[in-house]
Amino acid sequence: MPVKVIFEDLGIIDYKKAWDYQEKLHQEIANVKSGKINKRKVNRIIFCEHPHVFTIGKSGKENNLLINDSILDSINATYYRINRGGDITYHGPGQIVGYPIFDLEQFKFGAKNYIFKLEESIIEVLKEYNIKAGRYKGATGVWIKPDVKGGLRKICAIGIRISKYITMHGFALNVNTDLKYFNYINPCGYTDKGVTSIQNEVGRKLSIQEVKKKILKHIINEFEIQLFYF
């Protein structure tokens, strides 16, 4: 039986506002599960874009941010240490960020399968643009030419938090992203691997709304969900 999920598109939103909203939704589901509030438990998936921002996970290394506060100000970017896994990444205009707030007990699988299904959804999206992508052993996310030495580059980062079997944070797919912002960091802590975007791979700018529809389609298929619109 499909799991019910509400979809909400927040458009372009400040990172901290989106993070606070995730925390609110996560807590609400946790309160329903524990019986603290009497309300129907509903999973949520949020899509958005952020103004220029660098975020670093709870185990990330500060020195993977390669610039100081004055340069951050000059490039109109902000910086947050947050409570997801993983190291440092960049979010900005032209990048689709997805935040599933899912109760994995409803889906009846754990963190490993959850990440696998997120990656698989993006891999299937990229196939629609004739981009061959896959996984890279020992790392999360979706990579281009994962089996070709010297050609490896990341196109989608994944960093999550799971508490009480409820997920938050999620994926960031580079669509029309300004890739120069990745030069200010060691993306995901790597110093020897590249970053790319769909635009960079296919040589043209894409419709963000078109890509969002494709992502939703494949998430619905992979996770076997019944989607409702907020």
Q: Would you say 216 and 173 are in contact if contact means Cβ atoms under 8 Å apart?
A: no
Q: Which of 96, 179, 188, 195 is catalytic?
A: 188
Q: Is 48 a known active-site residue?
A: no
Look up residue 80 and give its two tokens: 């947050």
Report the catalytic residues. Answer: 188
